[in-house]
Amino acid sequence: MAYQLCDGFSVNTGYFTASTTIRGVFDSPSETFNKDKHSIIFQFNQGEKLRAEIPNIEVSILGVAESSAVILQVTDVKSGSVNDLLTPGRNLKILGSKIKVTGEDPSVGIYFVDATTQAKTKVEQSDIVINNPSEVMVVIPELPSGSYNLEIVTQFTDRSMLKQPRTALLDKPLTVE
């Protein structure tokens, strides 16, 4: 199906029809495709079989969708450990959503919180190596052995800055051996 779509054909499965569409304005009949000006998308439209199933769908509202900052996974780059070990002085790759560390509030930053004492160790701004909305990489501070919780405090949002910072927490403890 993917090869057919990439070759410009439409595919009808009975459940849906998929087709390839080029978006953008061509200024003349002889103008060629320009990826800076034009884009290619795949469109999917429901077919008769799928449309016939709509009355049989049961809807369960499970709550409000999570739209705030969230940390999904961390990887200790030195050991390759995922959501487990920390190697002080080495890189920690943090993946999530809306976790870019930005804002004027003094609390904005990345913290390792000692699970026993609740003492917070803030990552220095200069130790934030990558700072993107879905990926942040930091140099792990010199932490003593123990268990830590990771939190990111930010005012980042997709549109404009938040007035009040929000906190994203990793739901798994991390360990320095």
Per the DSSP assignment, residues forming a β-bridge with 18 are: 11, 44
The 10s digit of each residue's pLDDT in 111-128 is 999 999 999 999 999 999
Q: What is the pLDDT of residue 64?
A: 67
Per-residue confidence (pLDDT) for residue 65, from 0 to 100: 61
Q: Do residues 21 and 43 touch, judged by C-beta distance below 8 A?
A: yes
For residues 5-11, average pLDDT: 94
Residues 6+ apart with CB under 8 A from 92: 74, 75, 76, 77, 86, 137, 138, 139, 140
Cα distances (Å, whole numbers) of residue 96 to 27, 32, 119, 135: 41, 39, 24, 6
pLDDT of 39 reads: 93
pTM score, whole prediction: 0.64
pLDDT digits (tens, 9 = 90+) for 49-78: 999 999 999 999 887 665 688 999 999 999
In the chain, what percentage of residues exceed pLDDT 90?
86
DSSP conformation class of 173? -
